[in-house]
Amino acid sequence: MAHSVRVFPTREALAQTIAAILIKDLDRIEPDHFYSIALSGGSTPEYIFQYLSDNYAGRISWEKLLVFWGDERCVPPEDKESNYRMAYENLLQNVPIPDANVFRIRGEDDPEVEARQYAGLVSSMVPFFNGIPQFDLMFLGLGDDGHTASIFPDRPDLFTTTQLFEVAVKPGTRQKRITVTGKLINNSSKIYFIVTGKGKTSIVAEIIEGRSGPDRYPAAKVNPGSGHIVWMLDSEASSMLKK
């Protein structure tokens, strides 16, 4: 897996780099074209979204973005658990992105029905590559159990399924989720893992240094055909990586 690792001294520096990447990529988009992005949930994106709102609301061509999600909790959009609500409150309501460019996963609907509906929506809105929709950029988080999106270690089938979105269950809480599958993840043009905090130190080192083996952790199975995968870490999350 050809990947690069970028370590930032602070979450602010990481957020600034995300902004610079978006500015650069969006400036390259041809007129009447869009940049399809898949967001993840979690605490790190929450900080980044708020930072972009506070500092880049008028400096990024937001209208060129089409916003999707890699996963969603099966709750209504107003629920505090909702990834859509987190993105809306911290970013989408603060920047000039047209509502028509935002495609939330309907967590309030029947999960199996919505997984199929959302796969159809993504297929109708996102350009194809290799016969599969290809996100220009997918953000992924990393759980300390090695999950990514809502693909947990008990569901290796989510990296072999032919579906683009499936229903998963978070171990422990048994909360239902709708998640992107490995098929769609690994067709992305660019993947950025955004991982911060000392709680991720060990799992980050295990996965990046290939010590876990490809079958133990879902995040270790992320291997886009484009080869463009960047681990964006803060100094805490990266502290066990071999220098």
Smallest gap, in angstroms, from Cβ of residue 153 to ligand 6PG? 12
64-123 positions binding ligand 6PG, by CB under 6 A? 71, 83
CA distance 174 to 112: 16
Among positions 107, 111, 141, 146, the unique one binding ligand 6PG when judged by CB under 6 A = 141
* Residue closer to ligand 6PG (CB basis): 26 or 74: 74
3-class secondary structure per residue, 87-142: HHHHHHCCCCCCHHHECCCCCCCCHHHHHHHHHHHHHHHCCEECCEECCCEEEECC
Residues 145 and 36: beta-carbon distance below 8 Å: no
181 lines the binding site for ligand 6PG (CB under 6 A): no
Contacts of 211 (CB under 8 A, 6+ apart): 205
Least distance in angstroms from the C-beta of 170 to ligand 6PG = 8
Do 230 and 193 contact (CB within 8 A), yes or no?
yes
In the set 148, 186, 187, 201, which binds ligand 6PG (CB under 6 A)?
Answer: 148
Between CA 74 and CA 105 the distance in angstroms is 9
Q: How many beta carbons lie within 10 A of that of residue 183, not counting itself?
A: 18
As measured in angstroms, the least distance from the Cβ of 179 to ligand 6PG is: 8
Helix (H, G, I), strand (E, B) or coil at 9: coil
The stretch near ligand 6PG (CB under 6 A) out of 109-117, 144-152, 153-161, 202-210 is 144-152
72 and 105 in contact (C-beta within 8 Å)?
A: yes
Q: Which two tokens mark 36?
A: 């399809």
Nearer to ligand 6PG, 61 or 175 (CB): 175
Nearer to ligand 6PG, 26 or 165 (CB): 165
- State which of positions 14-73 bind ligand 6PG (CB under 6 A): 40-44, 71
- When binding is defined by CB under 6 A, the residue of 138, 149, 207, 220 that contacts ligand 6PG is 149
In whole angstroms, how close is the CB of 147 to ligand 6PG at the nearest point? 6
d(CA 107, CA 116): 13
Residue 123 Cβ vs ligand 6PG, minimum distance, rounded to whole Å: 21
Rounded to an integer, what is the distance from CA 60 to the centroid of its chain?
19
Among 107, 111, 133, 143, binds ligand 6PG (CB under 6 A): 143
Binding site for ligand 6PG (CB under 6 A): 40-44, 71, 83, 141-143, 147-150
